Structure 1
Amino acid sequence: MNNQLSIKKITELLSNANSLSDSIFNEYQLDSRKGVQLALKRRKKHLLKIHDEKVDFHKRLRYENHFWNNGIKYVAGVDEVGRGPLAGPVVTAAVILPNDFELYEVNDSKKLSPKKRLELSELIKQNALYYNIGIASNKIIDQINIYEATRSAMKDAIDGLSVTPKEIIVDAMNIDVPIHQTRLIKGDAKSASVSAASIIAKVYRDNLMDEYNNQYPEYDFNHNSGYGTKNHLYALKKYGATPIHRKTFKPVSDIIGD
């Protein structure tokens, strides 16, 4: 054991260890310095976390693997974001992943930080075979209701793909396309393809609501994404509804009806 190395240097070496079987853990496990033992413990904990994330990720690929192993190459995951807000559109995404997809951090978008979602959205786009976004505006939502608007936007996302998928995995919806569909409750936590779709849709919609915030800064859209927060409701009562508000949604309908 080389005690001549500083704790800082050992910590740097540990940062390059990508497996618990790396020789550095055995080399310094008997080092009596508290800082070294703390560094070892932290790196082991980090690697165990990555291992668990990878195991969970591969579980979220079980549906895709089933179809891939049965010769179905193009499996589209579909998800939506924005059914509940009082303002803005509902956004959907369809994503077809390759069978060697390994972005293990891809998970339900609600479990990820905004920074991580943004990072993963770009990586998914780079690694996906195909992806497309579908949008239903607040006007369409008011015309045909949120459920049908979501179905319509999902259909647009599918129809706009450069290839027609042979299978769709969707988060508990029924899309009006002649393609077999596997419908999963909380699909964004069970299927990597649906997770990928949820991330792309979420980032796209958040960016859109940030742009709307520049037009209507009083409503705090860059922080609430159109949901009925205290600040949003206050602005709604004080200034009334904007052109992007869903007029059929309460309390918007109550306020504009006053």
Structure 2
Amino acid sequence: MSRPHFQFENDLAARGYTRIAGVDEVGRGPLAGPVMAAAVVLDPDNIPEGLNDSKQVTAKRREALAEQLRAVAQVGLGVAEVDEIDQINIRRAAHLAMLRALADLPAPPDMALIDGRDRPDDLPCAAHAIIKGDTKSLSIAAASIVAKVARDAEMTRLAGLYPGYGWETNAGYPTKMHRTALLDLGVSPHHRRSFRPVHNILYQEK
């Protein structure tokens, strides 16, 4: 399997871009919890070893890399909460989280490399969308790791407040255990009511 590289960033730097942010989100698929995005501007001279798509890295390694990235790179984090997801739909909420992550950077970027097929509206800078970007661009891979670690930590925190759904292990995704708990315990304030499995339970209750 090919690993992410720095070629996109090098090519853009050769064209005069000086602050290139990789942007990725995590949490489109879960039934519960926010969607989170990260934006990362790497220092070309100090890129942590082992950056990869967050799904290809163990949880322990992800946490170590996220800590390293916060020390040597510029990092922004953005969140769209459950009520926003339900109001504007998950795609637009994911884009909103990306915009907030870019706004959270210490200084504005002049280029954003966005993971996925399409780019958010109202971007503050030029941008390229890269399909499967977290497997191709080191900056996007870095963002995927930061976003994943932040969201997993938030879901573990919420699991302490609303035990029984298994969020500390399933991060809100629709595992069999989570679906069973949803039927047994009912819908929590952190479930996405616009998502069909949650909506159906609420509808049946009525």
TM-score of Structure 1 vs Structure 2, range by shorter chain: over 0.9
Distance 2:124 2:158 in 1: 35
Structure 1: tracts of 5 or more residues without a match: 1-52
1:82 shift after superposition: 0.3
* Corresponding residue of 1:29: none
* Corresponding residue of 1:66: 11
1:90 shift after superposition: 0.2
SS at the partner of 1:177?
A: coil
- Indicate the larger mover: 237-246 or 101-110: 101-110
Preserved CA contact (<8 Å) 2:24 2:98: yes
Q: Is 1:121–2:121 an aligned residue pair? A: no
Structure 2: tracts of 5 or more residues without a match: none
After TM superposition, which residue ranges in structure 1, 4 or more long, deviate above 3 angstroms?
Answer: none
Preserved CA contact (<8 Å) 1:138 1:245: yes
Q: Is 1:166–2:81 an aligned residue pair? A: no
1:69 shift after superposition: 2.5
Q: TM-score, normalised by structure 2?
A: 0.94
Matches within 5 A, 1:146-157: 146-157=90-101
Root mean square deviation of aligned Cα: 1.4
1:222 shift after superposition: 0.5
1:192 shift after superposition: 0.4
Distance 2:194 2:47 in 1: 42
* Corresponding residue of 1:77: 22
Preserved CA contact (<8 Å) 1:213 1:219: yes
Name the one with the larger strand percent.
2
Q: Is 1:220–2:166 an aligned residue pair? A: yes
* Corresponding residue of 1:133: 77
Greater relative contact order (Cα < 8 A, sep 6+): 2
Identity of matched residues, %: 42
SS at the partner of 2:78?
A: strand
Name the one with the larger helix percent.
1
Preserved CA contact (<8 Å) 1:125 1:131: yes
1:158 shift after superposition: 0.8
* Aligned pairs, number: 202
* Corresponding residue of 2:178: 232
Q: TM-score, normalised by structure 1?
A: 0.76
1:224 shift after superposition: 0.4
1:91-124 per-residue CA deviation (whole Å, 9 max, x = no partner) reads 0000111121332300000000100100100011
